[in-house]
Structure 1
């Protein structure tokens, strides 16, 4: 069999959320920084993103992380999150997948019991501390970028649910965080389809009614996700992040947990040194800690630390074949949801 070119990936999941990692074979992405490379994918050439995130090579419930040489001094590696709608600047679960892949594949030297990994991302340097044992990465703690609230209790008018209140916060990307009882659902596996469709509907309404702009990074100017929030009897926060074209995050969502930490901090419900458990729709958990305070463009901000675990479950090699009839892939509404036509 003639394989002139192929792309190699490690198959990784973080608390059930698939975050594959491209380790070899990707074409070079133009740009002097990881941010510029992400912008190139989103604005100039998204062929790699579509190739690895759409059928027949992929499915709706997954992301793919592109490993890159770092452009920031002192970083061990760079990465960009590739999803069905676009390339995104940061994801906690995907970051944990990347750290695990780097260490367990030997691309970054593992030392036991702890290894520090510095990741160059479009939003800044992420410092990860991995706890390691017997050649395995048994947990990863991410020191995320500063996270802040844009607005609390933003009013959104909706045809289905009337007036909805949402907290708009930055956790590495922008989130709209909605208390789930406002849409008459709870966060449970049986409601995943309804939650996904509700989140995508709200995201469209938010785009019409709310504008955001990161004070330091001009190209981060949209609400990326709607995250539904519930509260558990043991004090944990139940999370359900919804992603285009219509699915839910299987993990507790690291950037969403960071954004929610900023909300709790802004409301005076937590202080530096406090923590909350974030629990996913399927019961996976992250620990979200407030480890410091700062400001971003005049916004009071919190410094979050997110701790979780990922598992490498396999490896794959995708053949790049010019005769393949679907180089840009495809998506069908039977599994991808009714908003499939909104994909870029």
Structure 2
């Protein structure tokens, strides 16, 4: 068969967000850290991301994770996160998908009732505790890298909206956080078009006016993602809120978003609205949930940071061989504006 590439992929979703996992067909690449490997794929092997995420094999509302040998000897596995418009340093839903696939396929031995493993990511080491029963990974809790706030109540001038107040925080990705009501919106599916369009507009205005730089890795800089928030509520002694994350090129994260949850934890703590060990339930636009808490605090450069833990579930949906026929006229796929709505941003 005239196939120029064959990839083994396990289909998976975490609370609605697709995070497929490449388990075969890609060799390791040079790099002393996972971030260096991320840069190598960005510069030398981006055809893999495009092949899997662009049409006709992919779609804008999905991600793909690549399992690689870890760079840090303390880790059980390393992985890179490929999204439609970027290689994310860290992602909660993709961590949950990757851990679930590693355990349920036997790539990492499962121990019941709790399996502990460490994953090497481009943002740093992430510790995972998976609740396991009868060969099934029932839930995954991960201790994320420290999350912290760059700016509270940052005023940005947005075309067509005027001055908008936003928060800017790191939760494993660089976030702009916006109170949906402050721009006349509600986080409901019927307002999808407005949420996406206004969210992208606000994000681009922030990108043009302010560039946050991670104090421990200056190559990680600039906001790339936006989170609409709704106010905190009290439920059975716990705090809860609805959010939705707008992912370029103009779509929603279907899950409550793990790194977005961590960024929200940092903002809530900075505002005095969430204490250590308070349980915070974060809901997505489709009603799925992540539970989270702040397990402690630390310092990252000049920033006071929180140590977030987030838990959620994932399900394997398929086992597939993705191939590229050597005569296929679209070796890196294609995009059409009815689905890929926004002009692409440059990859990091």
- Fold-level match, TM-score > 0.5? yes
Residues 225 and 241 in structure 1, CA contact (< 8 A), matched pair in contact too: yes
What is the CA–CA distance in structure 1 between the aligned matches of 2:145 and 2:165, rounded to whole Å?
26
In the TM superposition, 1:182-221 aligns within 5 A as 182-221=182-221
Deviates more, 1:153-162 or 1:23-32: 23-32
SS of 2:221's partner is: coil
SS of 2:224's partner is: strand
1:258 CA drift (Å) = 0.2
What is the CA–CA distance in structure 1 between the aligned matches of 2:109 and 2:200, rounded to whole Å?
41
* CA displacement 1:225-251 (0-9 Å, x = unmatched): 010001264441111101111001000
Deviates more, 1:89-98 or 1:328-337: 328-337
What is the CA–CA distance in structure 1 between the aligned matches of 2:139 and 2:69, rounded to whole Å?
24
* CA displacement 1:94-137 (0-9 Å, x = unmatched): 00000000000000000110000110001110000000011100
CA pair 327-119 structure 1, distance change in 2 beyond 3 A? same
SS of 1:192's partner is: helix
Structure 1 match to 2:325: 321
* CA displacement 1:149-199 (0-9 Å, x = unmatched): 101000011122211111101001110100001221100111223212221
Residues 85 and 344 in structure 2, CA contact (< 8 A), matched pair in contact too: no
Residues 19 and 93 in structure 1, CA contact (< 8 A), matched pair in contact too: yes
Structure 1 match to 2:90: 90
SS of 2:175's partner is: strand
Residues 244 and 343 in structure 1, CA contact (< 8 A), matched pair in contact too: no
**Could you list the runs of 4 or more consecutive aligned residues of structure 1 that deviate by over 3 angstroms after TM superposition?**
1-5, 232-235, 340-344
Structure 1 match to 2:264: 260
When the two chains are superposed, the root-mean-square deviation of aligned CA atoms in Å is 1.4
Unmatched tracts of structure 2, length 5 or more: none
In the TM superposition, 1:296-335 aligns within 5 A as 296-335=300-339
Structure 1 match to 2:108: 108
In the TM superposition, 1:227-266 aligns within 5 A as 227-231=227-231, 233-234=233-234, 235-266=239-270
* CA displacement 1:3-24 (0-9 Å, x = unmatched): 4641011000011100000000
TM-score (norm 2): 0.95
CA pair 4-157 structure 1, distance change in 2 beyond 3 A? closer
What is the CA–CA distance in structure 2 between the aligned matches of 1:31 and 1:326, rounded to whole Å?
29
In the TM superposition, 1:1-344 aligns within 5 A as 1-3=1-3, 5-231=5-231, 233-234=233-234, 235-337=239-341, 339-342=342-345
* CA displacement 1:207-226 (0-9 Å, x = unmatched): 11111100001111010201
1:303 CA drift (Å) = 0.2
Unmatched tracts of structure 1, length 5 or more: none
What is the CA–CA distance in structure 2 between the aligned matches of 1:140 and 1:155, rounded to whole Å?
37
What is the CA–CA distance in structure 1 between the aligned matches of 2:231 and 2:276, rounded to whole Å?
21
Residues 171 and 258 in structure 1, CA contact (< 8 A), matched pair in contact too: yes
SS of 1:150's partner is: strand
Residues 84 and 343 in structure 1, CA contact (< 8 A), matched pair in contact too: no
What is the CA–CA distance in structure 2 between the aligned matches of 1:28 and 1:223, rounded to whole Å?
29
